[in-house]
Structure 1
């Protein structure tokens, strides 16, 4: 799986912890499934990338002008959920301040330096950060593969509409079980 990366989008405490500033119960529900995907990807030598929504403390940010403050540096709210262990020696943690993991970050450079073409995508919010990251991945000629039971937003209808659009126009949508089968057979290459 040398040409594949797992991208875990914004599974940070403000989104995943019941005490988080923008917590959705759906994020807590998908955490164990994402953990399982993370473990399986590690077994198959898949590059692991955590996208970490993080705003600078006491600094202006356009996104925060229109929403509740969240994921502020130094508060702990921008920390990757402890259920998802980061291997500091091998994994990448890339901070972002916009919906897409590609805007204002070095994600594209990291992927290209590692010869990645397939992006397995999990995390939160299907209608914002997942969708924006998938759209940019598609436009940069990556193959986005969204794991349907490992993404969520605060409305299941909205979640399904975006998964349907992604499948139709931007990439693949698979279940974690289907992903595990692909990984076992080496079919993502």
Structure 2
């Protein structure tokens, strides 16, 4: 079964200590695990996807502008991939899929489903941040689109520990995801 690793929002604003909407230490603690998975998927000739949040400064129409401080603003350092994940992206950018997303789910308003189906992907492995927001919404859309879902618990994090734990349970009990 062809798999895709989807690296969600592992950017400076979501991970660095001084990021605008950071997970902080929990997000930083999963860096090596995500990097290891990227390397494994590349070596196995599986699909690797980078889906990164994109916002426009002072956008009064985006619903997140009422919920969170400005983050992942176009043209800022906050949009850059974080740490070794950024280094791997630079190394492998010619053999991975990378795109911007403007909603929580990597599927919402993007052509991700088409890209995965073109490559024969049947299973998605979701990693990154935030477990209870963008990972969760991507997982729900994955479920609704018929993909098998795997969530490596050691490669997802959130700034909300209660939400993180709840989402892990929800993935398993409501979406039939494998939690490893």
Give the TM-score of the pair, scaled to structure 2. Answer: 0.90
State how far apart, in whole Å, the 1-side matches of 2:70 and 2:35 are: 27
Query: Which structure 2 residues correspond to residues 90-101 of structure 1 after superposition, within 5 A?
Result: 90-101=95-106
- Residue 30 of structure 2 corresponds to 30
SS at match of 2:49: strand
**Aligned match for 1:152, one of 152, 157, 160:** 157
Q: Deviations over 1:106-129 (max 9, x none)?
A: 111111111111001111111111
Which secondary structure state, in structure 2, belongs to the residue aligned with residue 117 of structure 1?
A: strand
Q: Which residue of 2 aligns with 1:178?
A: none
Root-mean-square deviation over aligned CA pairs: 1.4
Q: C-alpha deviations, 1:22-71, integer Å up to 9, x for none?
A: 11221111111111111111121110001101112454422123220000
**In structure 1, distance between residues paired with 2:97 and 2:74:** 18
Quote the offset at 1:172 in angstroms: 2.3
CA deviations over 1:54-98 (Å, ceiling 9, x no partner): 112454422123220000000121112241121221111121111
The residue aligned with 1:83 is 84
Identify which of 125, 128, 131 aligns with 2:133.
128
- 8 Å CA contact 1:148, 1:173 repeated in 2: no
Using the size of structure 1 for normalisation, the TM-score is 0.86
Match of residue 122 from structure 2: 117
Structure 1 residue 170: Cα displacement: 0.8
In the alignment, the residues of structure 2 paired with residue 91 and residue 71 of structure 1 have an alpha-carbon distance, to the nearest angstrom, of 21
User: What's the counterpart of residue 67 of structure 1?
Assistant: 68
**Which of the residues 164, 169, 172 maps onto 2:174?**
169
Q: Distance in 2 between matches of 1:157 and 1:33?
A: 22
What are the ranges of 5 or more consecutive residues in structure 1 without an aligned counterpart?
176-189
Question: 1:14 and 2:9 equivalent?
Answer: no
